[in-house]
């Protein structure tokens, strides 16, 4: 594992890895773990947006829809140029989820020295994420999130993923950046598969930045 991590770090440099998946697929969980393993900084679009909604008293995501692209650009993209992140690689959780946003995200990231080197998709079925949603509501382990308030809102998020985010993934795939991971496994197995596939990718595309 350590040898694989060292190889991935060398390949990644100060670049970025963007993680996607349906709601409840484990993007933030795996992203935080990956950031720790790679001595990277973790940025979650969902966390940034919820914080900004609280600060500005806007509720764009209350009903499960993605926030408008112009608001996403204003709120999220400036993070790439933060001086405290300058010398670090970044692990991103679904930054640029609306078709068309990925081009601007990639441009801004590269301009800030955080070129996106891979986009991971955690594959999991809708039936499984709905089961996870129901379990999370019982355990109340996600806090009082407005975009998780009920099943109807959650299903809107699923619809948004299929309509707006699938084309984003297709774009990354066309650039040979997409890494597919089976998200329907125990967390440790998911993490190990992420490392294995990033390692294989790093061997095929050595750091040339």
Which CATH number covers residue 97?
3.40.50.300
- 46 exposure class (CB count in 10 Å sphere: 0-12, 13-18, 19+): middle
pLDDT of residue 209: 45
Average pLDDT, integer, range 61-70: 85
Task: Tell me which residue of 19, 195, 178 sits closest to 92, measured CA to CA.
Answer: 19
59 inside domain: yes
Q: Please indicate, yes or no, if residue 209 is contained in any of the structural domains.
A: no
Range of the domain at 104: 2-202
In a domain, 208, yes or no: no
What are the tens digits of pLDDT across the range 140-183? 655 555 555 577 888 888 899 999 999 999 999 999 999 999 99
Residue 37 token pair: 């393993």
Q: What is the pLDDT of residues 83-141, one digit of tens each?
A: 999 999 999 999 999 999 999 999 999 999 999 999 999 999 888 888 877 777 666 65
Q: Is 207 part of any domain?
A: no
Number of domains in the chain: 1
Based on the number of CB atoms within 10 Å of its own CB, is 175 exposed (0-12), middle (13-18) or buried (19 or more)? exposed
């Amino acid at each position: 594992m350590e040898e694989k991590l060292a190889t991935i770090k060398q390949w990644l440099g100060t670049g970025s890895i963007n993680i996607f998946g349906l709601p409840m697929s484990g993007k933030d969980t795996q992203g935080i773990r990956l950031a720790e393993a790679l001595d990277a900084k973790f940025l979650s679009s969902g966390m940034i947006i919820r914080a900004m909604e609280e600060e500005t008293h806007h509720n764009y995501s209350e009903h499960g829809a993605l926030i408008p692209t112009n608001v996403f650009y204003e709120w999220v993209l400036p993070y790439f140029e933060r001086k405290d992140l300058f010398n670090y690689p970044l692990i991103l959780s679904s930054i640029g989820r609306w078709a068309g946003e990925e081009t601007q995200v990639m441009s801004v990231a590269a301009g800030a020295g955080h070129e996106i080197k891979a986009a991971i998709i955690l594959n999991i079925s809708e039936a499984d994420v709905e089961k996870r949603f129901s379990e999370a509501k019982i355990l109340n382990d996600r806090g009082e999130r407005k975009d998780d308030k009920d099943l109807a809102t959650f299903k809107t998020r699923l619809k948004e993923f299929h309509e707006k985010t699938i084309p984003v993934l297709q774009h990354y795939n066309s650039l040979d950046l997409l890494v597919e991971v089976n998200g329907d496994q125990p967390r440790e197995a998911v993490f190990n598969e992420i490392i294995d596939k990033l390692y294989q990718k790093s061997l095929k595309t050595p750091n040339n930045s």
